[in-house]
Amino acid sequence: MHKKGLKDVDVKQKRVLVRVDFNVPLSPDGDILDDFRIKAEIPTINYLRENNAKVILMSHLGRPKGKAVKKLRMDSVAKELSKLLGIPVKKLDDCIGEEVEKAIANADYGDVILLENLRFHRGETENDNEFAKKLSSLADIYVNDAFAAAHRVAASNIGVTAFLPSVAGFLMEKEIIVLSKLLSAPEHPFVGILGGAKVSDKIDVINNLMNTVDEFLIGGGMSFTFLRANGYDIGYSLCEENAISTARQILENAKKKGVKITLPADVLSAPEVKENAPARIVDIEEIPNDGIGVDIGPKTAKIFKKKIQDAKTIVWNGPLGVFEFEAFAKGTYEIARLLGTLKNKTIVAGGGETAATLRKFGVDKQITHVSTGGGAFLKFLEGHSLPAIEAIEDKD
């Protein structure tokens, strides 16, 4: 990796400001529904504590739009983090100001401090220079470990780098290394599994990965736009009418480049997207006029599984059906379960729904890397440079 990492700087007896991404889903009562992103930060935090640094964590949570919103305070995050670390985490009531400065000055080395929600200040999302300067004054070194926010321009991931030595944390470092290899030096055969609702969300990903991928396996709602482009009747299945010509162009480009695109051979069809809706398996030529495709069928799952087993590198983004409903999650589950059993392969998954799927089915620990990024993951695979990564200092 050409960016400086944690081990390239001396953090002992230093105040270290760490940009993390604790933007976690909350229940209406403020309880954390998914601690995946919090757990992902533990290695960086523990390393800093072991090296006797004052650990100052900062993150956003939700979209308070520059105002203090009670339900978006970081208290529940601090409570969860304390539990995971096994130590009390001191959560402050602001992220800048005299009280914050005093709390940090009075903290011991090895302590962990969590600042209040960055987005309670408009200066965060506006990348305000004065706000960035105030954040920077709290520390001696800046660590960016928030890959999920790396595609955003903000004071906490861009502005602060003008005032402090900046390095990547362990999570950011791993994301950069793993995803860069997918784009530059994957082992072949390389298979991309793409699902989710919209083709339009994946156009740039498909076009960029077409330079390295050998085959795409396409399911989910987006597959019906491709099927429609191939002339199939898809009933009331999800279809982006304005993306049909784009899908047709992608199919033509893939053919020219020798990249195979495999679409569903059969689907689970239901008259409506409801948990208890009557559903049946049909070949794609037989989707009823009033039917909606809600999952890949068993023929498709068998085809996909064989191609995945033959691959050396696999990247997955997007569920293959309406996985929120158990009755429509079988195809997604079968692929997730298979990925969790494979050995000696590089398997990378990203996107909020994909990561949630793997965790839901208990196989996230068995694969090479589950990215913490949603938008950042897709932007990286599109081949774009991410501004927050660019802002980290280069190695000499």
- CATH classification at residue 16: 3.40.50.1260
Domain check: are 121 and 184 in the same one?
no
Average pLDDT score over residue span 54-75: 96
- The predicted pLDDT at position 352 comes to 80
Domain check: are 156 and 265 in the same one?
no
Average pLDDT over the chain, rounded to whole?
95
Pairwise CA distance, residues 294 & 297, whole Å: 9
Residue 240 located in a structural domain: yes
Binned at pLDDT 50, 70 and 90, residue 351 comes out as confident
Residue 13 located in a structural domain: yes
Enumerate the active-site residues.
Answer: 37, 198, 352, 375
pLDDT digits (tens, 9 = 90+) for 164-197: 999 999 999 999 999 999 999 999 999 999 999 8
Give DSSP secondary structure letters for 190-233.
EEEEE-SS-STTTHHHHHHHTTT-SEEEE-TTHHHHHHHHTT--
Continuous segment of H or E residues that includes residue 315: strand 313-317
What pTM was computed for the model?
A: 0.93
Domain check: are 181 and 309 in the same one?
yes
Residue 86 located in a structural domain: yes
Least confident of 64-73, 143-152, 321-330: 321-330
Domain final residue pick, 135, 169, 203? 169
Binned at pLDDT 50, 70 and 90, residue 1 comes out as confident
Q: Above 90 in pLDDT, residue 215?
A: yes
User: How many domains does the structure of the chain reveal?
Assistant: 2
Domain check: are 333 and 290 in the same one?
yes
Angle at 294 between CA 290 and CA 299, to 5 degrees: 105
Amino acid at 158: I
- The predicted pLDDT at position 355 comes to 87
pLDDT digits (tens, 9 = 90+) for 222-275: 999 999 999 999 999 999 999 999 999 999 999 999 999 999 999 999 999 998
The residue segments making up the domain with residue 193 are: 177-381
Amino acid at 312: K
Domain check: are 184 and 329 in the same one?
yes
Domain check: are 164 and 185 in the same one?
no
